[in-house]
Amino acid sequence: MHIHILGICGTFMGGIAVLARQLGHQVSGSDAHVYPPMSTQLRGQGIELMEGYDPAHLDPAPDCVVIGNALSRGNPAVEYVLNRGLPYTSGPAFLSEYLLRDRWVLAVSGTHGKTTTTSMLAWILEYAGLSPGFLVGGVPQNFDISARLGGGVTHGSRHDALFFVVEADEYDSAFFDKRSKFVHYRPRTLIMNNLEFDHADIFADLAAIQRQFHHLVRTVPGNGLIIAPAHDVAMAEVLKQGCWSTVEHFDETANQGWNTRNAQADGGAFDVYWRDDLMGRVTWPLLGRHNVLNALAAIAAARHAGVPPKHAIAALAEFRGVKRRMEQRAQIDGITVYDDFAHHPTAITTTLQGLRQNIKGNGYAGSQRIIAVLEPRSSTMRMGVHQHTLAPSLALADHVVLYQPADIGWDVAAVATTLGPQAQVFDTVPAIVAHLAQIAQSGDHIIIMSNGGFDGIHQRLIEALRPPWMAEVPETQEQISGQTSGGTPAR
């Protein structure tokens, strides 16, 4: 079957393309922005890519057109599909129909932590020899690819079980299907990490998001498992609307379900308990309370698939994190540069808390600074929904650099005013790089926070910080450090 994907270079749709190719289909695709690394990954899979949305890309007609949720009415390719009556579907619906219905689906949902927890869970199953398929909204560094089909195993009474781990996003499916993507997945094992208001471009309020989460709860079978936080009020309200499956809770302190004890302040090590029974101790390179909770949820989900907690704990010791989740990009003259996929004040807070605790725990309190650099790029941030909570979320940084895009409707300087002299605002990336290069000193941790490319600021900064004597070295030590470090992945 020939499948053509509109919006193929997005992380999710690119993953769909890879999976469709591995299923044996002929795959092509169009996008407004065809460039590395996604274009390289897709072409390496034998997928034909086309720039733009020319209707000619759909002639001869493919057997099915998969339309990404970034496209809407008025797009020339969309109008051609509708006018010619070509068969079409959404990415989540394609995934459900052609892949998930014959698999044990483990879905990871929630406002924060989806990508990291999905990656943890996929790695735990891989470590246990279960060869899971997966689709992640990022690149797990244990796999270096965002999606794969996976294989079958014989696992106790579950003969030739096919496990598939999917990041279950609450964003809408397509212009013709405004339900959340995750409604299509029908998981047997469901993690619901947490719930806050986000995606203000498609949801009017928290209640609208909760309604979609309850649609998801309704799809979990009675013999399935839901894993939920013990003290998340918004998520508890979802479950109170009706639940027909077993629920296991997790929290750092509650001893009724999955919990932790004897944890390091930075989250780098902690004991895992099921109720009052010690399962083992996690020691790993990740930091932050949020990642401790992510780990508990992943361990619980893996146990439902048949992986003993002690094996899951051993797997997490070798978990290398996810690209763009506090990924260490470089270390130059004692200055460490991180890339973090920040999209919400809560995520910013937990990321900074984890790093601050790590600095204190290593005895560097007062001698190492945290410099946070933020691009307000998510739709919710650009709409100004978080403008009053951004300053408190950044308060743990010693110095804050804020980017003021020309095309958002609120003044970022108001956040800087609230933070005081530790914060500055710039309206160009070169100005930010010049400022950072001027103030950075040995021991600094510079965290670039954006859910986009930020105009290549990471490499620009690395080049600006690099001493002249390193300029002629093709593969410098700081580049190697950035590629191999497990870093401190956030969310």
pLDDT computed for residue 152 by the predictor: 60
**8 A C-beta contact, residue 301 and residue 105:** no
Residue with tokens 């209640």: 207
Contacts of 194 (CB under 8 A, 6+ apart): 110, 111, 112, 113, 229, 232, 234, 235
290, 281 in Cβ contact below 8 A? Answer: no
* Main-chain dihedrals φ then ψ at residue 234, nearest 5 degrees: -65, -40
Same fold, 2-90 and 327-484: no
Mean of the per-residue pLDDT values of the chain: 88
Percent share of the chain, pLDDT over 90: 63
- What CA–CA distance (Å, rounded) separates 118 from 366? 35
What confidence tier does 469 reach under pLDDT thresholds 50, 70, 90? low
Torsion of Cα atoms, 80 then 85 then 86 then 91, to 10°: 90
pLDDT band at 77 (very low <50, low <70, confident <90, very high): very high
- Check whether 158 has a pLDDT greater than 60: no
Highest mean pLDDT among 161-165, 309-313, 347-351: 309-313
d(CA 172, CA 239): 21
Contact criterion met (CB below 8 Å) for 363 and 335: no
Collect all residues with Cβ–Cβ distance below 8 Å to 409 and sequence separation of at least 6: 382, 383, 384
H runs (alpha helix) in 199-288: 206-218, 233-240
Query: In this model, does residue 71 exceed pLDDT 50?
Result: yes
Q: Grade residue 135 by pLDDT with cuts at 50, 70 and 90.
A: very high
Q: Which stretch of 13-17, 97-101, 371-375, 473-477 has the lowest confidence by average pLDDT?
A: 473-477
Least confident of 88-102, 334-348, 411-425: 334-348
Q: CB under 8 Å, gap of 24 or more: what pairs does 130-134 form?
A: 130/155, 130/161, 130/163, 130/305, 130/306, 130/307, 131/163, 132/106, 132/163, 132/164, 132/165, 133/19, 133/99, 133/103, 133/162, 133/163, 133/164, 133/165, 134/164, 134/165, 134/166
CATH superfamily of 327-484: Mur ligase, C-terminal domain (3.90.190.20)
pLDDT of residue 253: 83
Q: Which CATH class is domain 99-316?
A: alpha beta
SS3 state of residue 282: strand
Q: Cβ distance 281 to 368 under 8 Å?
A: no
pLDDT tens digits, one per residue of 14-29: 999 999 999 999 999 9
Alpha carbon 7 to its chain centroid, in Å, reads 19
What is the spatial distance between Cα 193 and Cα 228, in angstroms, rounded to a whole number?
6
**Is the domain 2-90 a CATH 3.30.2230.10 member?**
no
How high is the pLDDT of residue 487? 33
How large a percentage of the chain has pLDDT more than 70?
92
For residues 150-175, give the mean pLDDT. Answer: 77
136-150, 370-384, 409-423, range with the lowest pLDDT: 370-384
- The domain segmentation of the chain, as residue ranges, is 2-90, 99-316, 327-484
Model pLDDT for residues 279-319, shown as the tens digit of each residue: 999 999 998 888 999 999 999 999 999 999 999 999 999 99
Q: Which pLDDT score, from 0 to 100, does residue 470 have?
A: 61
Q: Average pLDDT for residues 435-464, to the nearest whole number?
A: 90
What's the one-letter identity of residue 275? Answer: R
**What integer is the mean pLDDT of 246-257?**
89
Among residues 270, 272, 237, 240, the alpha carbon closest in space to that of 258 is found at: 272
